[in-house]
Structure 1
């Protein structure tokens, strides 16, 4: 059941990010909700689920929007996997942890993506790209993760104490 919910979240996020969120921007910057979802699910469900969600969401973006298939899938997969490694080691009820991880992964996503695209022959001026959009998008993503992480925490966390008859 949770796999179906995650698939629906990925598809709905893709539709929202490519339609409605394009018109809701601040200074021309749109939040990377896919990154926020991958970080949230990886923190809550672990490395395997985080990696799979990152791979599927990245492939969907690459197939539809990217001239090459693979860069988004590669980056989102490793972000989901690496954040998922810390699933058992962090306190999941705090909103500070996903906030910090989102700042780190937003910067890492753009850095790795630019390096990846450089080796594929795309000319990206990283200094101007960083100054003009990455920092604002990082702030946008880190604020956006708080309600999304709280909502996913309610969906994917099963209470450990059960009351009732045996």
Structure 2
């Protein structure tokens, strides 16, 4: 089999990815959502559809994917559809199809240094994303302590008894 490299005139960048933050991105704030927010199928689909309507490639400031929603300062108007001078403000991370198919479990909110500079907090970013579908949450879900890690030895002791 012979492989040939073909150079394209100007490849179109794909802005959707599984990576929620760029390498070297300055992460300023992070909050674990406790307990995790679980959006049933109807709300999950509404949120994804709203994020697609407000996508960065079509004049909005959101970039949704299977792992969450990135929030940007402006639409992407750079060369070839790149981000141009738009700043990554943060992201809301989730697990899709968890706990059941088509459900979304929101577990973390990240705000970049540019996001903090723009006046964003983890709560305002979460409210902004959930507000796309007319949903909301309380600030308490971001203030709860992260539970301690499970002790793997304790679970083994219980099995032996």
TM range (shorter): under 0.3
Higher-helix-fraction structure: 1
Normalising by the residue count of structure 2, what TM-score does the alignment of the two structures yield? Answer: 0.25
Normalising by the residue count of structure 1, what TM-score does the alignment of the two structures yield? Answer: 0.25
Structure with bigger gyration radius: 2
